Copies of this chain bind each other. A is one copy, B any other.
Amino acid sequence: MIVVSGSQSQNLAFKVSKLLNTKLTRVEYKRFPDNEIYVRIVDEINDDEAVIINTQKNQNDAIVETILLCDALRDEGVKKITLVAPYLAYARQDKKFNPGEAISIRALAKIYSNIVDKLITINPHETHIKDFFTIPFIYGDAIPKLAEYVKDKLNEPIVLAPDKGALEFAKTASKILNAEYDYLEKTRLSPTEIQIAPKTLDVKDRDVFIVDDIISTGGTMATAVKLLKEQGAKKIIAACVHPVLIGDALNKLYSAGVEEVVGTDTYLSEVSKVSVAEVIVDLL
């Protein structure tokens, strides 16, 4: 099996190739002056199987680049292609929220099912999207890696999920940290005032680890951090698998009093400190 990186996962693909004890395939990517993507497999290919690692932060570019890489690899005689999209774009448009909408991930699942033989991703927001694929759809969990990362940084922390839907992430992390876990509950005190506090646990004088699959705008997380600090929490670290961190999300979180924000290399950001390379290798 050869490891081929897309332009957005060059470092991650190298890590995966090292863990697999295989050579990273040399691929040339560039843009033509009119901005069209160009890809070329530079190394000679003598293998039936390839894994393409190409995350989808710049989603439309990644999708087209993947289409082109598959074309080039098939022409080199590759029979089986596994696409690793550590962050799978459009996965949150997984149903019609309003009439007439595209179900974006369904539309793209059809494309992937036509050009690759297997798809691997990390912590997709909804797992039912696997039903849109006619190829194996496999996903890994990077929450343990985040928990390991904070292990020595927090003192007997409480692990919190930002909402009930994320409780599974807190549970997973709590096992590694040998800690109690809970989720944050939002209570409306008045039309303008909300309270956010752990459902049962008390954060007073405790370190806190808040963990979720994705931080987008960071709004709810920042409000939670601010209120937890008011409730006497000591050091708070906020973690997520996919640090999408739109606009001023990081600034909001730090201003709210968080000690550190950490994410993985599924999505390039200033805080993509934890690698999912091992998680990927376990799935290959």
Taking Cβ atoms with an 8 Å cutoff, the residues of A that contact B are: 33-43, 58-61, 63-64, 67-72, 75-76, 89-90, 92-93, 96, 98-104, 106-108, 110-111, 114-115, 216-217, 244, 246-247
Contact = CB atoms under 8 A, between A and B. Distances in A.
A100 to B, nearest CB: 4
Nearest to A91: B36
Copies of the protein in its oligomer: 2
Contacts of A40: 98-102
Contacts of A114: 110-111, 114
Nearest 6 CB-CB pairings of A with B:
A71-B107, A41-B100, A68-B102, A72-B102, A60-B60, A71-B102
A72 B39 CA distance: 30
A75 to B, nearest CB: 7
A63 B67 CA distance: 11
Nearest to A216: B34
B216 A101 contact: no
A64 B72 contact: no
B246 A33 contact: yes
A93 B246 CA distance: 35
Contacts of A108: 64, 67
A36 B93 contact: yes
A180 to B, nearest CB: 33
17 contacts: A33-B217, A33-B247, A35-B59, A36-B104, A38-B93, A40-B98, A40-B99, A41-B100, A41-B101, A60-B60, A60-B64, A67-B107, A67-B108, A71-B102, A72-B102, A75-B102, A111-B111
A42 B98 CA distance: 9
Contacts of A34: 216, 244, 246
